[in-house]
Structure 1
Amino acid sequence: MPRLRGQRQWRGGGRGRGHHRGPRPGGPLKHARGWGLALVAVGLLVSAAFLSRFVDGSHQSGQWVPDSTLAVWVIPLAVLCQGLAHVLRAKNAQRLLRVVRPTTWRILFSGLSVGFLFNALLPFRLGELVRAHLIGRQMRISRAVVLFTILFERAVDGLVLALCAVGVGLATRAQAPEAAALMLRLAMGVGAASVAVAVLAWLLFTQNRRMLRAVGAFTALLNDRLKDRTRFVLWSIIYGTHVIFRSARLGRFVVTSMGMWVLYLGSMAALAHGFAPGHGALAILGTAVSAYLAVGVPSGPGFLGTFHYYFSELARGLLGIDGVPLGLSLVSWAVLIGPFSAVGLYFLLQRGREQAADAPVALEPLKNKLHRDSDISREFSHFLDEYFSGQALSHVLSTGELRGDFRMVHTFKGGSNASTLLVWDGEGLRVRKVTLPQHLEKLKAQHDWLESRRHLPHLPRPLRELRTEDYYAFDLEYRKEYVPFFQFIHSEDVERGKQVLDRVLDFVDQHLYEHAERRDEPDMLERYLREKVVAKVNDAAALSPTLAALLAHDTLCINGQHYENMGPALARLRANPRALAELASMRQTPIHGDLTVDNLIVRKEDGDFLVLDPNNENAISDPVVDLGKLCQSLHSGYEFLCQVSRAKVEGAVVEYEESMSSRYAELYLHLQRRFETTLPPEVRRTVLFHEAVHYCRMLTYRARINPSSLPAFFATAVRLFNQFNDQYASETSASPLQGEDPSRKRLA
């Protein structure tokens, strides 16, 4: 079935492109381990130097609390509470991530431990990035989604801690006003950060259009590969929010978080009680909360100085201590940082001996967008372009994917109001054509056209129709052994391409066209010119100031050659009775309507072909319309023109990169020779006209999807109309249109 137009195709199964095996022993894991250990060693040295300097400076300044003692028995109790709390944290992480891919508690606990180690060594809690990377790599899932779950987890932590801090701060304002004020300020900072993460999660979950368009505009500045990967990562996070929030047991997550924080606060409360046993429960609780407010301030490496500054200020006021509780700071810091960092170091040493399992076949990561067995971002390039530009249909498709209605495996180029997808629907792979309800008439007509001809060879067979409140769609058989005709032309012997082209033309002539007599239809021709040329050009000019400015000129210089502009060219055509008579002579019959190279796929083994995407919305239903479509590809190089990203316009000068393959040129020459034997001269001359009209018809669509390249398509239409007129050059002349303000000229 349909392949991606002008891009690489998807292939299922096997060990071809996209298959990936886990890292080999001694490979990337070994190098990563080496760099990790080197970073740990440097961090430990730097932290030790800061610790030594801190202690020496504290001794010299006399910042030791006189007669302070600490009951030694509370230290193992505090460490035990910390360890149990970390176990619950890893369990909570498993609760969120197992809905993405089943995993073991050990993978999450080891990632948490190593991340904790790097949090102690790196500033600004960068260890969370290390944790996300290690867990994502081990589980072979999106690291961005793992990071999102960590941010969500930390947002819940922040809200719990902020609420506790606000409660303590309000309750102790009278006894310790300075400490309470500092605690409330820190609580506001922690709470604001948590709310910001929650708002971001909500914007992602609701797929906020403004945010997505801003992201789309920014990523459009990147190269294609980086753009696709960045957009796919962001869409994966959105995908992950829906998978996690809809499938994970968030109630149990919250309950476990509450239990985890009871253990965390109990750990620091035990140390505070052992240091100052005569104080009340509120002061002890406040001191425990203070330890986590202080450790939450982004700093490093080791962040002992920052921790001591905030913790001592809070604890001194809450416990009523005259001096600075340096001993309590050191022990609290050691319990918070030391044991679990040692566990992280152990897991870091062990990680180098682990090997990732073989990845599954290529289809699995395409069905589950959060798995990372291979890079699949390029498979969704067209979908992501439309999604981040805010197009409604792409959001409908995204919602269908997130709801589990289907699984997008690959996206193809679609028309202006429809998308073509390769989907997995639980039973197998299907090609699905989708549009919004307000545009279903055209797609419905295409389905009916194919259904009425399902007995014919070389046409795809519809499987079923789907109609919901959000979209209309129908499924087609998927033929993975077929490749795009564009690819076939440029990878096989040119003679095979000519044979396929002849067979395609024989097929449509024998099975689609009816042998009807020609009739003169001057009114139909005039309506065709008015609706498909004049109206389309004017509509595109309304969308593009650049095109509107081009219309003001009588002549254009296109890549160094001078041509009559659209208005004068149409005036010359209308002044040519012979040309009008030949165009008005029509053979009304069913046609394909969109017979481009893009809409042909071929099986390499035997040259069998399928003709895709019929279009019966042509005002003129003459076989010459199909021939004009073929020439749109082989003569004017539509598929190559679509690769032009920008056309340069200066006044009446239009410049853009023109490229055409020698294979296209050979096939066009072959097509012309066929026309000489199968078409009378008066019909053969009209092919250029219909080729030009096809470019006019697509101008509004091009103006919407890439206004920067629009002048190239308009210039191609102008050149084709000039070439059509040149066939009758000795018979007519016409002056340019007069009587209009050049700055506001429109086609008449």
Structure 2
Amino acid sequence: MKKKIAKLSIQILISGFFLWLAFRHVVWGDIITAFSLIDVKYVIIGTVLQSTSFFIRASRWQYLLSPVKKISYGSSYQVMTISYAANNLIPLRAGDILRAVLIGNKEKISKVASFSSVILERVADGLTMLIFLIIGFVNLHTESLWLTRLMYLSILVFVTCIVFIVILCKYQQSFIHFLGRMISKKSEKLADTATRFMQNFLVAFQVVQSKSMLVKILVSSLLIWGLEASLFMMIAKSFGISEHVFLLGIVSVAIVNLGIMIPSSPGYVGTFEFFCTLSLGLFMIHSSQSASFSILVHVSQYIPITVIGCIMWLSLTLSNKSSRQRIETIKDESV
């Protein structure tokens, strides 16, 4: 319990530090003025567009889980929205683990295999962010040192991930056999456990062996993050920003989502605002307006999926309760 409290305290401190970085030069009166001048219709349009990305996310997760089991679209959407709401409410990205547990229980599949599909999803997201970042870097003609370093670091990380995944898939059986043989020198039981774990973990990785599935995952990822970027574009228009709106959208969504990989409090408070204001600085948007922008984008993202996820959690809970009651009724009747 003490360790959990300590970890949460550290995350809150990290969030506080990034909030200070984001807002240290802000004049709060200017933020209030900026909010009073926004065009609400663009905020609504952007929020709706961004929320529809979860319909495509649910389909993409079906593709990623296809080597494990063909799950229904309803199950995919329900569990996915719950996991995103959990990430907004629970620390340490616990929603990702919760997603694997819930879909494992609901569809009777390996939780380890389910979690590996979530990892693949994160890699697909990261690669899409990298594509957006490169497009922005080429078209902005910026000499920003931090952006250059972020791009090259992202290339290094995600290219390494791809190479590692490809090697694992190609030499899957050899790797499992080698792992089992090495561990068996100390414990046969532990070797069997590790072997079963890796076999389950690598099942979802088989999706990369299908070219058609890879195309579906790539196209759906571009659509998902295009819709995510549209929220940034619409918020920009709501503040009266009209220049380079497309580039602003794809660059900002990329930088923000790479930035929130840094551990922080639930809902990515602080890291989201800092990296959003940092990205807007590339477009010469002053501190008070970029602070207002970051707050509005974050709220527009946070509230809809958190509400939808909580509703899905309630429906899943009621469904499970109803199922247990039916089972108990059948047992009573059989007696």
In the superposition, the TM-score normalised over structure 1's length comes to 0.37
Residue by residue, what CA displacement relative to the aligned partner does 1:415-463 show, whole Å, maximum 9, x if unpaired? xxxxxxxxxxxxxxxxxxxxxxxxxxxxxxxxxxxxxxxxxxxxxxxxx
Decide which structure has greater strand share.
1
**Secondary structure class of the residue paired with 2:200:** helix
**Secondary structure class of the residue paired with 1:279:** coil
Find the aligned partners of 2:213 and 2:242 in 1 and give their Cα distance.
42
**Secondary structure class of the residue paired with 1:249:** helix
1:182 aligns with 2:146: yes
Correspondence for 2:280 among 297, 310, 315 = 315
For 1:99-118, what aligned pairs fall within 5 Å after superposition? 99-118=67-86
1:123 CA drift (Å): 4.4
**Secondary structure class of the residue paired with 2:44:** helix
Please name the residue that 2:236 is paired with. 272
For 1:384-403, what aligned pairs fall within 5 Å after superposition? none
1:73 aligns with 2:37: no
In the superposition, the TM-score normalised over structure 2's length comes to 0.77
1:140 aligns with 2:105: no
Letter in 1 for 2:257: Y
Please name the residue that 2:267 is paired with. 302
1:125 CA drift (Å): 3.0
Find the aligned partners of 1:254 and 1:99 in 2 and give their Cα distance.
17
Find the aligned partners of 1:248 and 1:128 in 2 and give their Cα distance.
26
Alpha carbons of structure 1 residues 198 and 320: separation in structure 2 relative to 1, 3 Å: same
Find the aligned partners of 2:99 and 2:208 in 1 and give their Cα distance.
19
**Secondary structure class of the residue paired with 1:110:** helix
Correspondence for 1:249 among 205, 213, 236 = 213
Any gaps of 5 or more consecutive residues in structure 1? 1-38, 359-748
Contact 1:78 / 1:267 at 8 angstroms: preserved in 2?
yes
Alpha carbons of structure 1 residues 77 and 133: separation in structure 2 relative to 1, 3 Å: same
Letter in 2 for 1:140: K
1:165 aligns with 2:141: no
Contact 2:231 / 2:297 at 8 angstroms: preserved in 1?
no
Letter in 2 for 1:302: G
Please name the residue that 2:303 is paired with. 338
Find the aligned partners of 1:316 and 1:248 in 2 and give their Cα distance.
39
Find the aligned partners of 2:299 and 2:29 in 1 and give their Cα distance.
17
Any gaps of 5 or more consecutive residues in structure 2? 325-335
Decide which structure has greater helix share.
2
Aligned residues: 306
Letter in 1 for 2:130: A
For 1:195-206, what aligned pairs fall within 5 Å after superposition? 195-206=159-170
Alpha carbons of structure 1 residues 129 and 91: separation in structure 2 relative to 1, 3 Å: same
Alpha carbons of structure 1 residues 194 and 212: separation in structure 2 relative to 1, 3 Å: farther
Contact 2:183 / 2:191 at 8 angstroms: preserved in 1?
no
1:70 CA drift (Å): 2.3
Letter in 1 for 2:158: S
Alpha carbons of structure 1 residues 64 and 301: separation in structure 2 relative to 1, 3 Å: farther
1:99 CA drift (Å): 4.6
Find the aligned partners of 1:97 and 1:303 in 2 and give their Cα distance.
27
Contact 2:50 / 2:227 at 8 angstroms: preserved in 1?
yes
**Secondary structure class of the residue paired with 1:318:** coil
Correspondence for 1:263 among 205, 227, 235 = 227
Contact 2:176 / 2:195 at 8 angstroms: preserved in 1?
no
Find the aligned partners of 2:217 and 2:102 in 1 and give their Cα distance.
22
1:298 CA drift (Å): 3.8
1:335 CA drift (Å): 1.8
Find the aligned partners of 2:168 and 2:105 in 1 and give their Cα distance.
23
For 1:511-530, what aligned pairs fall within 5 Å after superposition? none
Letter in 1 for 2:197: V
Please name the residue that 2:327 is paired with. none
Contact 1:121 / 1:302 at 8 angstroms: preserved in 2?
yes
Find the aligned partners of 1:64 and 1:287 in 2 and give their Cα distance.
25
Find the aligned partners of 1:210 and 1:252 in 2 and give their Cα distance.
28
Find the aligned partners of 2:141 and 2:188 in 1 and give their Cα distance.
56
1:142 CA drift (Å): 1.5
Please name the residue that 1:448 is paired with. none
Contact 2:58 / 2:77 at 8 angstroms: preserved in 1?
yes
Contact 2:88 / 2:267 at 8 angstroms: preserved in 1?
yes
For 1:535-546, what aligned pairs fall within 5 Å after superposition? none
Aligned Cα RMSD in Å? Answer: 3.5
1:93 aligns with 2:61: yes
Contact 1:144 / 1:236 at 8 angstroms: preserved in 2?
yes
For 1:461-610, what aligned pairs fall within 5 Å after superposition? none
Residue by residue, what CA displacement relative to the aligned partner does 1:287-325 show, whole Å, maximum 9, x if unpaired? 344443344444322222111112112212324325462
Identity of aligned residues (%): 17
Correspondence for 2:117 among 128, 149, 153 = 149
1:118 CA drift (Å): 2.4
Correspondence for 1:237 among 201, 215, 220 = 201
Contact 1:308 / 1:326 at 8 angstroms: preserved in 2?
yes
Alpha carbons of structure 1 residues 126 and 61: separation in structure 2 relative to 1, 3 Å: same
1:108 CA drift (Å): 0.9
Contact 2:259 / 2:275 at 8 angstroms: preserved in 1?
yes
1:228 CA drift (Å): 2.5
Residue by residue, what CA displacement relative to the aligned partner does 1:622-650 show, whole Å, maximum 9, x if unpaired? xxxxxxxxxxxxxxxxxxxxxxxxxxxxx
Q: Which structure carries more relative contact order (alpha carbon 8 Å, separation 6+)?
A: 2
Letter in 1 for 2:163: V
Contact 1:269 / 1:287 at 8 angstroms: preserved in 2?
no
Letter in 2 for 1:343: I
1:207 aligns with 2:171: yes
Letter in 1 for 2:113: V
